[in-house]
Every structure is written in C-alpha cells, then in structure tokens.
Amino acid sequence: MSSEFLLTCQCETEIPVRSTQAGGTVRCQCGLEVFVPTLRDLRQLPGASTLADDLTKRRNWQLSNGVLFAAGVPIVLLCLGTFIYATYMRWPLELSKPDFREFQYEHDTDTLSLSESWDAWLSFRNMQLDNRPTPPYLVSRTRAFQLLGIMTASGVGFVIGMGCILAALCMGRSEPR
C-alpha cells in the first residue's frame, strides 16, 4: 500500500502527494496552489505507485503489440505471396492421365493363334526397349503435390500471421486497468 497519491491540478498535471500532506496545500509547477484533501478523501485517489505500474504495464503491452504486429505483417505478406505463387504454378499443371495405349500391338492378344503369338513374341523380343522419361503428367502430379504442401504451409503461416496482427490490434484497444 503506497502512501503516495496523485492529485490532478486544473492544468491536468498530476502531483504526487503524501498522506502526511493531507489537509494542506501543494504548489503545482504551473504555479497554482492545490488543496490536498483530507486523508479519507485522499484514499479515494489513485495511488501513485499503482499508476506508475499501470504505465509500465501499458508500455510493455505496447511493446509486445509492436513486436507482434511487426512479426505478423511480414509473415502474412510472405505467406500470401507464396500461396499465390504456388497456386499460380499449380494451376496450369496437367494432372490427368492422357489417353494413350501403353501396349501397342495391332492384334488383340487373346485371339492370336499359336504361330501368331510366336511372331508377336519375337517382335517384342527384338523391339528396342529404351529408357523413356517419366510421363509429363506423373512429373506434374509430383510437382502439384509439392505445391499443395507449400500452399498448405503458407496457408497455416497466413493464419498465424493474421492472428499476430489481430492480437496486436485487439490488445492495443483494451484499456489498461
């Protein structure tokens, strides 16, 4: 419990007074003589140290607001940019399997005669099998999956960043007690 109280002068300067000054007068820096109330009335005034605590709390609050805000804005912008970029990159990717025959032979292998199937076997055996690149749609699917991961991560980051900004804004509006 502090024995200091804050009197407010007409010029709105707050003058710290001690309980021992109750009933007397103090001179404000503006030159006015300010009447100090009796001890009982003095107790209704805010304690100076409490008020100082509040000011410190408020300052800390504003600092953490600033940090939150300063962290939130770049996170939001970065994530938004990444999300848009990933969406833009993913959009044109062709993901459906194109309609092509993987096994090309002019006859239905179920209806071949024995000699025909022997010929078929020979032709397949002599066929030059080469290494073919992975079909584009499969490459696209892998890429799309990676981009989806990036989009999800940036979405989560965006929400976190917005949370920081909102928290900073809401905390700034609340009145210190």
Q: If DSSP codes are grouped into helix, strand and coil, which group holds residue 35?
A: strand
Q: What does each C-alpha distance from 173 to 58, 61, 165, 169 come to in angstroms? A: 11, 11, 13, 7
Instruction: Using CB atoms within 10 Å of the CB of residue 38, give its burial: 0 to 12 exposed, 13 to 18 middle, 19+ buried.
Output: exposed
Residue 84 binds to Zn ion (criterion: CB under 5 A): no
Interface mask (CB under 5 A) for Zn ion, residues 27-46, using x and -?
A: -x-x-x--------------
List the one residue out of 82, 22, 69, 76 whose CA is nearest residue 166.
69
Instruction: Give yes or no for residue 82 binding Zn ion (CB under 5 A).
Output: no
Q: From residue 11 to residue 30, what is the string marking binding to Zn ion with x (rule CB under 5 A)?
A: x-x--------------x-x
Phi and psi at residue 9, to the nearest 5°: -80, 170
Q: Tally the residues of the chain.
A: 177
* Min dist. Cβ of residue 26 to Zn ion (A): 10
- 101 contacts 155 by C-beta, under 8 angstroms: no
Q: Does 9 bind Zn ion (CB under 5 A)?
A: yes
Query: 28 vs 78, which CB is nearer to Zn ion?
Result: 28
To the nearest whole angstrom, how small is the minimum distance from the Cβ of residue 1 to Zn ion?
27
Nearer to Zn ion, 31 or 92 (CB): 31
Closest distance to Zn ion from the beta carbon of 9 (Å) = 3
Q: How far is the CB of 27 from Zn ion (least distance, A)?
A: 9
Which residues bind to Zn ion, rule: CB under 5 A?
Answer: 9, 11, 13, 28, 30, 32
